């Protein structure tokens, strides 16, 4: 019933390790947001096993659009920009996370995206 999606940029090159790190940053940040402001959703998601789905997001414009849609829908969310210490320039948008929240609500925003 509840899930979290992480949408990753696919128009930039990231090593597998960098990609995993950015996905983790997005997931934890959005989950913390949910824990603080959407406790009922967070608790239900936690009890169900913390379902997460990682999706192909396209470029920066697309990620910002999905993030804006999640903001308008009043969903837990996170937008992740790289610190610039390794592979990417500082401030590079790498991923967003939406949820944990009800699956049907998240799917209205990201249901058309393909798995990474």
pLDDT tens figures, 81-93:
999 999 999 999 9
pLDDT tens figures, 19-69:
999 999 999 999 999 999 999 999 999 999 999 999 999 999 999 999 999
To 5 degrees, how large is the angle CA 113–CA 80–CA 41?
A: 70
What is the C-alpha separation between 71 and 115, in angstroms, rounded?
22
In a domain, 34, yes or no: yes
What is the C-alpha separation between 103 and 70, in angstroms, rounded?
13
Question: The domain containing residue 35 runs over which residues?
Answer: 2-110
- pTM score, whole prediction: 0.96
Count of domains in the chain? 1
In a domain, 116, yes or no: no
Residue 32's domain is classified under what CATH number? Answer: 3.40.1490.10
In a domain, 115, yes or no: no
In a domain, 104, yes or no: yes
At residue 106, the pLDDT reads: 98
At residue 28, the pLDDT reads: 98
95 neighbors 9 (Cβ within 8 angstroms): yes
- The predicted model gives 2-29 an average pLDDT of 97
**Which H or E run contains 109?**
helix 103-110
In a domain, 29, yes or no: yes
């Amino acid at each position: 019933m509840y899930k979290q999606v992480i949408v990753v940029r696919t128009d930039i090159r990231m090593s597998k390790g960098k990609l995993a790190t950015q996905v983790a940053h997005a997931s934890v940040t959005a989950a913390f947001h949910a824990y603080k402001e959407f406790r009922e959703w967070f608790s239900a998601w936690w009890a169900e096993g913390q379902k997460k789905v990682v999706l192909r997001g396209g470029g920066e414009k697309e990620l910002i659009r999905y993030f804006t849609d999640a903001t308008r829908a009043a969903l837990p969310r996170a937008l992740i920009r790289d610190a610039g210490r390794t592979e990417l320039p500082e401030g590079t948008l790498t991923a967003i996370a939406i949820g944990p929240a009800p699956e049907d609500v998240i799917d209205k925003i990201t249901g058309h995206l393909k798995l990474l």
